[in-house]
Amino acid sequence: MNEADRDPVHPTMDANTIIRWLIVAIEYAIVASLMLVASIVLVRSLIKFLEDWNGFPQSVVSAIDGILVVIILLDIAHTVFGHLRASVFPVRPFLIIGILAGIRDILSSSAHLALSGTLSSADFRDTMISLVVGVGVVVVLLLGLLILRLATLPADADPA
């Protein structure tokens, strides 16, 4: 057997392989960073909630806001991790993340309206615009989610 006929036992790493491994390493670092940030936000939200008993309504809103941020961060981390396993980037999780973010904004704006004593007309107008935009974004993303679901159903399946 000639030396040229033998396959190399350890193939050399080409530039594509190195770049692919680098991308995977960065994606894992992103997932780890998102998990770290979510953990810190959760702990800080709980500590702030437990320390601020005098401003109870505002601390509840702040705690819910922090928990929704944690849920959004975990959904993003889960989506990126799913991309690592399947090598596809699904649209559906990002629509859900957008819906959660819109709901978070709606809750924050409505809490601002409910908990602040008196608002100037400009502040009231800005809060109402924020509410309308938040509701509009959630409705549009829900329609996108519905369209995506209907587009992925088999032709003979019943959508209900």
Query: Does some domain include residue 3?
Result: no
Q: What is the mean pLDDT of the chain?
A: 83
Report the candidate in 42, 79, 40, 39 with the shortest Cα–Cα distance to residue 64. Answer: 42
Task: Assess whether 95 and 144 both reside in one domain.
Answer: yes
Start-to-end CA span in the chain (Å): 66
Query: Does some domain include residue 7?
Result: no
Could you report the per-residue pLDDT of 103-120, keeping only the tens digit for each?
988 988 888 787 777 778
Task: Assess whether 75 and 125 both reside in one domain.
Answer: no
How much is the average pLDDT of 36-40? Answer: 96
Burial of 54 (0-12, 13-18, 19+ CB in 10 A): exposed
Query: Does some domain include residue 5?
Result: no
How much is the average pLDDT of 133-157? Answer: 87
Examine the pLDDT at 159 and tell me if it is beyond 70.
Answer: no
Domains contained in the chain, number: 2
Q: Which residues contact 35 (CB under 8 A, 6 or more apart)?
A: 73, 74, 77
Q: Which structural domain, as residue segments, surrounds residue 113?
A: 91-160
Task: Assess whether 95 and 82 both reside in one domain.
Answer: no
pLDDT of residue 154: 75
Task: Assess whether 39 and 84 both reside in one domain.
Answer: yes
pLDDT of residue 2: 58
pLDDT of residue 147: 93
Examine the pLDDT at 141 and tell me if it is beyond 90.
Answer: yes
| Percent of the residues in the chain that have a pLDDT greater than 90, as a whole number | 31
Region of 46 (left: φ > 0; alpha: ψ -120 to 50; beta: rest) is: alpha
Could you report the per-residue pLDDT of 60-97, keeping only the tens digit for each?
888 888 998 999 999 888 888 887 777 777 788 889 99
Domain boundary among 88, 108, 129: 88
Task: Assess whether 67 and 122 both reside in one domain.
Answer: no
Query: Does some domain include residue 74?
Result: yes
- Predicted TM-score of the model (pTM): 0.70
